[in-house]
């Protein structure tokens, strides 16, 4: 993708600087924290670190008297391993190999990759294919966010759609193999990858006796693990979906909770006055055009929230709200429409503090 290593390093550095300065989600409750790598308060030790991985900036801050640099090193190794395992573009990775052998051979995968694929299939079944981990042919065709985008020809879209069907993923659990039934199929775990990684980080920290942390994968998957050492909740600033404004629309407090957002502002291009964003609808093969700017999901589980933020966005506000209400577990959400109205589930409606008068509640 990059012309040379120097360009890649410069781009990564620039992204880190921008993310540190603004970010998709702003940790408003931590403004007074020491910005050095380690910080010592009279009560609790803390450690902060950033990584550039998953093509985004990952920020981790851990509180606890037992926290050490080894914890950060372990997290980095975990992220780097999953980044390779789950990538459809990194040669030698497990998903890359599954795609390479599409329509030909089954590929042995790790327990971790097998689990992520099985969870993806479960979400696809529960959302009637609106979330589909085989969306890769459409993602590759539109290529949004990589420059030179344009609306594909309808024949190209139809061909990519014919290769998008989660039911054509063949799993042999005993042999721990995965096969794609048709040549040209492309498995893409981008819809749950960050959420899955965030959950694994949280699991690791709990196993180490560390239960107070802020885990932020690129602003789209955030876990507020436990509470702050003082017992206060994490105060999260919510970015305006119109990123060009550079403002936040409000704040919300969380503890032991996940925030995951999907929106039209993340990656897009404009052609003939129409915005084409990266959230592709498997039913049409096109980016969704349903009047939504963004959907934010709040749940106890980051993997669930990641998948739901995509599928529920494609459902639209009314159908998406009904779907969330039908779930056995408690999941909260708010939808932002093109006219800057916010439609929230009751649990969020009473917690979300709006600070930008551009936005108002629609329900």
Binding residue ranges for Mg(2+): 191, 306, 310
Please name the residue that has the structure tokens 């819809």: 191
Q: How many CA atoms lie within 13 A of 282 on its CB side?
A: 22
Tell me the two tokens of residue 122: 């479960």
Query: What DSSP line would sit under 65-132, residue for residue?
Result: TT--HHHHHHHHHHHHHHHHHH-SSSTT-HHHHHHHTTTT--EE--HHHHHHHHHHHHHHHHTTTSS-
Are 74 and 204 within 8 A, CB to CB?
yes
Residues at the binding site are 191, 306, 310
Whole-angstrom Cα distance, residue 174 to residue 25?
Answer: 42
Are 195 and 299 within 8 A, CB to CB?
no
Whole-angstrom Cα distance, residue 21 to residue 276?
Answer: 27
Measured in degrees and rounded to the nearest 5, phi and psi for residue 198 equal -60, -40
Tell me the two tokens of residue 282: 């498997």
Whole-angstrom Cα distance, residue 96 to residue 94?
Answer: 5
Whole-angstrom Cα distance, residue 315 to residue 65?
Answer: 45
Strand order in the sheet with 234-239: 25-26, 234-239, 248-254, 353-354
Are 186 and 216 within 8 A, CB to CB?
no
Neighbours of 164 (CB within 10 A): 23
- The three-class DSSP label of residue 293 is strand
Nearest to 311 by CA among 188, 138, 130, 167: 130
């Amino acid at each position: 993708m990059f012309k040379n290593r120097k360009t890649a390093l410069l781009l990564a550095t620039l992204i880190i600087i921008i993310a540190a300065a603004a970010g998709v989600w702003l940790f408003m409750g931590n403004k007074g924290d020491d910005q050095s790598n380690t910080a010592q308060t009279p009560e609790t030790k803390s450690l902060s670190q950033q990584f550039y991985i998953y093509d985004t900036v990952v920020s981790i801050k851990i509180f606890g008297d037992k926290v050490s640099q080894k914890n950060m090193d372990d997290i980095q190794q975990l992220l780097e391993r999953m980044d390779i395992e789950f990538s459809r573009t990194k040669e030698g990775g497990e998903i890359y190999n599954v795609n390479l052998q599409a329509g030909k051979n089954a590929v042995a995968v790790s327990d971790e990759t097998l689990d992520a694929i099985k969870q993806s299939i479960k979400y696809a079944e529960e959302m009637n294919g609106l979330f589909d981990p085989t969306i890769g042919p459409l993602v590759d065709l539109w290529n949004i966010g990589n420059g030179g985008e344009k609306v594909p020809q309808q024949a190209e879209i139809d061909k990519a759609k014919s290769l998008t069907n989660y039911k054509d993923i063949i799993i042999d659990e005993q042999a721990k193999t995965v096969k794609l039934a048709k040549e040209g199929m492309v498995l893409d775990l981008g819809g749950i990858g960050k959420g899955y990684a965030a959950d694994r980080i949280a699991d690791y920290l709990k196993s180490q006796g560390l239960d107070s942390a802020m885990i932020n994968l690129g602003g789209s998957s955030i876990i507020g693990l436990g509470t702050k050492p003082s017992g206060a909740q994490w105060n999260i600033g919510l970015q305006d979906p119109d990123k060009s404004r550079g403002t936040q629309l409000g704040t919300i407090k969380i503890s032991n909770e996940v925030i995951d957002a999907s929106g039209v502002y993340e990656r897009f291009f404009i052609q003939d006055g129409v915005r084409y964003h990266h959230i592709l609808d498997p039913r049409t093969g096109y980016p969704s055009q349903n009047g939504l700017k963004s959907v934010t999901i709040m749940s106890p589980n980051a993997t669930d929230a990641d998948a739901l933020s995509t599928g529920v966005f494609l459902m639209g506000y009314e159908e998406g709200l009904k779907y969330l209400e039908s779930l056995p577990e408690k999941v909260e959400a708010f939808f932002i429409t093109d006219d800057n109205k916010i439609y929230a589930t009751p649990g969020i409606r009473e917690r979300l503090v709006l600070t930008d008068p551009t936005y108002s509640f629609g329900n």
